[in-house]
A and B are shown apart, each in its own frame.
Chain A
Amino acid sequence: MLDLLVRYRKYSILGVVVVVAVALLTVQQTRPGEGLWIAEGIAAVTAPVQTAFARVHRGAASLWAGYLDWKHLRAEVARLRAETVALRLRQLRQEALEVENERLRNLATLRERLPERTLGAEVVARDWNGFTRGLTIDRGRTDGAERLSAVIVTSGVVGRVAVLRRQSAIVQVLTDPASSIGGVVLRTRAQGLVEGVAGGRLRIKLAVSEEALQPGDLVVTSGIGELFPKGLPLGRVLRVYSPTGLFRTAELEPAVDLTSVEEVLVLPRGTGGDLAPAFPES
């Protein structure tokens, strides 16, 4: 018998295994719900391992969830930052539009107050090197602009058209070292010559007594020479220098912030009369 079992070892093992398994199943089928000691034994070995692994798995899952949360939070923060930047940009655009709107409204009001038909233009370029100071505007010969026309904004004189092209023009600004305009001190009616100074400043030279020129005095165009009509604000006296010979010199603060001019009005040549009432703020 033993020989037979050894000879057919393979089938013997199979037989034993099948018998054991069937026996186990049969016992359980006849006594449902009752645990078997062998199952208890195996479970006693595997349960601690399972528990340990479950803990490790829970820890890893928690770590992963934390990482995902952090990742989502980071994405959320980036999104909110981008949104904040977009909102800020929108707000800045809105503010810029409001400023532009205000500027255009003032320019339109000035235009209405002026007796002559003026030409509105936009500044498209600036030449701000040390030797010359000029602005390029988008109106030229075809638009009706004329050479030497006065260019103004709501606060005063910008300069004059120095170079006229077909569709654009270059404006020589007041502070250009080659610019000179006849000016008058509004308070005392003392007349002088307003000149640009290298470095973007402005000065007035006149032959008057000390009382005739004080810091804060407004200087407007005199109307002499017929290039500029009378009464256009040029600037305010900042400081008065000691006289040299007959002449007294004063530094002026330009009435117009020439660095931020964006829209201008071009007056037709030969515009006459006193335009001071058109600049009530001055």
Chain B
Amino acid sequence: MIKSQKDFFSGLMFTAIGGAFAWGATSYSVGTAARMGPGYFPLLLGILLVALGCFTTIYSLIEHTEDGEKIGDFAWRPVVYILGANVAFGILLAGLPRFGLPPMGLIAGIYALTVIASKAGDVFKLKEVLMLATFLAVLSYLAFIKLLNLQMPVWPFFITG
């Protein structure tokens, strides 16, 4: 029986990641302590992480820990909308040359990001969101493009040519 769900799964996560790093390290030259190869330190750390992860997992089967309560529901809605907004911004800002998508620039990206990200919250009023997007677009244009002079596409490709 799992007594501390959070600890059980974090232990599994550490074991898996540590194992992956240790396994990957064996494909580089490991060397000796006096002459370390690129694989030496990651192999050492990977093994250590596996050991700690296993211990955490096993310990979670035996004892309740202070911060080891149930994990609870995964909040898919904010995850999808926040990360989706970020990805949409990237695609619109610079385009995806590999898939033949041209850049649409910063301003289009800001509108898309604001609308998608706002969907993650409990309240969504389109008018409010569009006002926020306009405010952010003006602010970003002034602060990042005019003041800080950051280099990025601002307008869609069909305007700048």
A binds B: no
Chain B residues near A (Cβ < 8 Å): none
